[in-house]
Amino acid sequence: MALIEINGMIKEYPMGRGKFTALKNIDLEFTEGEFTGIVGPSGSGKTTLLNIIGSLDVQSDGSVRVMGNDIEKLSGKQSSKLRSKHIGFIFQTYNLLPVYTVFENVEFPLILLGMSTEERKKAVLEALDWVGLTDKIKSRPAQLSGGECQRVAIARAIVKKPDIVLADEPTANLDAENSHHILKTMKKINEELGTTFIFSTHDAKVISYLKRKITLLDGKVFKDEIVE
């Protein structure tokens, strides 16, 4: 079974008295263990597509199934359960909680899952080890560099061992060295844990790591290629 199945999907946004069509007739499938980039210029619909896959938003027409769930049929409670159990998010601007320490930021998704203190500690330390940040456990985001913040965000996304990680332009605010570092980290997680990664990006450095590249142009899938 495909992890994600999108058929004839359309997304419209209200605009004035009419509508603006941001995604046009999208048909896509994603399977386990992918390392895939959604590539395309600004405004091509990358964020809209990731938000719908992540059930943060709902399509206007067509069907979107994520791990067997028809996302438009989920209640708010069911979609938040799908996200908290199965999907990790990484954003361009990290979205860390500023008053929390690194440990607490990474621990947060596990509290939502109702894990015990002991289990949480073990999982957080393991996730921080994956991203090479065990020495920053007690730091707060303001004390970290951009690259370190994004590594915390990766640890937070993977700490619950989700099936899918969605990353919206994860390297947009990073320099070349940090971009390569976080890409290598994500690739290692992809290879060793089998986590599916779907990125949006227009960064050539990210593109060079992809196994599959989906090009969006003007809300349509222009190209879908294996690049290994």
Ligand X SMILES: Nc1ncnc2c1ncn2[C@@H]1O[C@H](COP(=O)(O)OP(=O)(O)O)[C@@H](O)[C@H]1O
44 binds, among ligand X, Mg ion, none (CB under 5 to 8 A by kind): ligand X
Measured from the CB atom, is 14 or 114 closer to ligand X? 14
Residue located via tokens 């605009």: 15
Please state the closest distance from residue 143 (CB atom) to Mg ion, in A.
Answer: 28
Measured from the CB atom, is 38 or 127 closer to ligand X? 38
Q: Counting contacts by CB under 5 A, is residue 47 touching Mg ion?
A: yes
48 binds, among ligand X, Mg ion, none (CB under 5 to 8 A by kind): ligand X
Detail the DSSP E strand segments found in the chain.
Answer: 4-15, 18-30, 35-39, 61-66, 69-70, 87-91, 164-168, 196-201, 212-217, 220-226
- Number of residues interacting with Mg ion: please give it, by CB under 5 A: 2
Q: Distance between CA 120 and CA 31 in Å, rounded?
A: 29
Please state the closest distance from residue 225 (CB atom) to ligand X, in A.
Answer: 18
Touching Mg ion, residues 168-207 (CB under 5 A):
none
Starting at the earlier edge strand, list the strands of the sheet with 87-91. 87-91, 164-168, 196-201, 35-39, 212-217, 220-226
DSSP category for residue 210: -
Q: Distance between CA 131 and CA 42 in Å, rounded?
A: 29
20 binds, among ligand X, Mg ion, none (CB under 5 to 8 A by kind): ligand X
Residues that bind ligand X (CB under 6 A): 13, 20, 22, 40, 42-48, 200
Please state the closest distance from residue 131 (CB atom) to ligand X, in A.
Answer: 25
Measured from the CB atom, is 59 or 105 closer to Mg ion? 59
Distance of CA 11 to the CA centre of its chain: 19
